[in-house]
Structure 1
Amino acid sequence: MAGTRGWWRRNALALVAVAVLLPATVVGAAWWGWKHAYPDSGMPLWPVTPGVSGTVDLKGATWGPVKAKVITDTTGLDMPAGATLIGVTVEVTPHEDKGPDCYAPELVEQSTGRSWQSVRGELGLSWSTDEPEGCVPTLEGEKAEPYQLVLPYVVPEDAEGPFWVDIDPGQAESKFVRFPIDP
C-alpha cells in the first residue's frame, strides 16, 4: 500500500486553494457591494477635525475657523419656549475655480448624539446671499470666492455642550468635516 495516499494528501493543493480563495471571494463581494451601494467609498464615516490652525482642508476648500455663541437676545425672532439659540459661523475658502458642495451642516450634541439642522427661516429670518446656510454653488463662468456659513440652531434647554458641527462635503472619500464647539 505504499502507492496509496490518503484523501487529505491527494486534495491538499485544492484545499489550500479553497482556504485562500473563499475568504478573498467573500471580501471582494462585500467590497463590490459597498462600492456600488455608496459611491465614492460610501457614507460620511470618518470625521476630519481641525488642527492647531482651527481649519480643515478637504474637498478643494479650507473649512474654518469656526465661531459659536449662545444668542440670548432673541427679540423679534420666532423662538419656541424652552429653547436656546446657538449661532455658528464657519469660514469656507475654496482652493479651485469651482467651490465645494455640501449637505446641510448639522449641530450634534456630543454626549447623546442628538442633532439639529439650521433654522433660519423658521426663526423668521430672511434668507441672505451674504449669510448662506449651505455651500454656495459656483455658476458657469464664475470663480469661487471665500464666504462664511451663518448657521442658527435652536436646541432644547436640556441640551448640554460640547457640540460638534458636522459638514459633509459629499463625495469626499467617506470623510466629513467635524468642528468641536462649546458655546
Structure 2
Amino acid sequence: MSWWRRQRTALLALAVATVAVIGAYVWLDVLPSVRSGDRVVEVDTDVDISGQTLSIGPAEWGEFESPAGTRTLSIRLRSSGGTDAALCGPATLTDPSSSRTWLSSRSGLDVPSGEGESSCVAESSPYRILLVFLLPDDAEGPFRLDLEGGDDVTARFTVEP
C-alpha cells in the first residue's frame, strides 16, 4: 500500500481545514473592512452621528493602572442624547504611522462604572462616554479615533494626547 493511500484521510482533513481557515479569515477580517456603504467623516470637535451630537473632550495618559510595558489612554466624549439617539458601533484607535489599531479595552481594566458610558447609548438626555485604550509604551500619537454610527457613517476624530 502506498503512502498516499495510507494518508489520504489526513490529507483530506488538512485540505478541508485549510479551506476553513482561509474562509474564516476572509469572513472575519477582509469583508468587514470592505464596506462600501460606510462614509467616513473627518471631525474636529463635534459630529452628528446615530441621532446625537458627540463632542470630543480631553485625552489623558495613564489614568488607570495597566500591566507592565503598557499604559492607558483615556478619551472622554460628551453626547447630547436625543429622541432619535441610537447605539454606536465599536470605537477603534489607530496609529497612522504604524497602522496599529486597538479596540476600547475598558472592560479588561479596573475602570469605575460611574465614569461614563463605554459607548453610545439610546439615551434622550445628555451623557458622558469614557473610552479607555490599552496601548504599548512605544505608542506616542497622534491617533485616529473612529466611531461607527448606526447610520453607516464613521466619525473620525484626531486625538493628540
TM-score by length of 2: 0.69
Q: Which residue of 1 aligns with 2:156?
A: 178
**Bigger strand share:** 2
**Which of 64, 81, 99 does residue 85 from structure 2 map onto?**
99
Distance across 1 between alignment mates of 2:150 and 2:127 = 19
TM-score by length of 1: 0.62
**Which of 18, 28, 39 does residue 46 from structure 1 map onto?**
39
User: Offset at 1:163?
Assistant: 0.2
Q: Which runs of 5+ in 2 are unaligned?
A: 1-30
User: Offset at 1:135?
Assistant: 1.3
Count of residue correspondences: 129
User: Offset at 1:43?
Assistant: 5.3
Q: Which has the larger radius of gyration?
A: 1
Distance across 1 between alignment mates of 2:105 and 2:159 = 18
Q: Does the 8 A contact of 1:67 with 1:89 survive in 2? A: yes
Inter-CA distance 45–66: structure 2 relative to 1 (3 Å threshold): farther
When the two chains are superposed, the root-mean-square deviation of aligned CA atoms in Å is 2.4
User: Offset at 1:45?
Assistant: 4.0
**Which of 45, 67, 83 does residue 80 from structure 1 map onto?**
67
Distance across 2 between alignment mates of 1:133 and 1:59 = 15
Secondary structure of the structure 1 residue equivalent to 2:86: coil
Distance across 2 between alignment mates of 1:44 and 1:106 = 19
Q: Which runs of 5+ in 1 are unaligned?
A: 1-36, 139-143
**CA-to-partner distance for each residue in 1:24-71, whole Å, 9 max, x for gaps?**
xxxxxxxxxxxxx99xxx4564321224xx111233221113321212
User: Offset at 1:121?
Assistant: 2.5
**Which of 136, 143, 147 does residue 163 from structure 1 map onto?**
143
Inter-CA distance 58–134: structure 2 relative to 1 (3 Å threshold): closer
Distance across 1 between alignment mates of 2:121 and 2:50 = 14
Distance across 2 between alignment mates of 1:178 and 1:59 = 14
Distance across 2 between alignment mates of 1:176 and 1:159 = 23
Identity between Structure 1 and Structure 2 (%): 26
Distance across 2 between alignment mates of 1:135 and 1:161 = 24
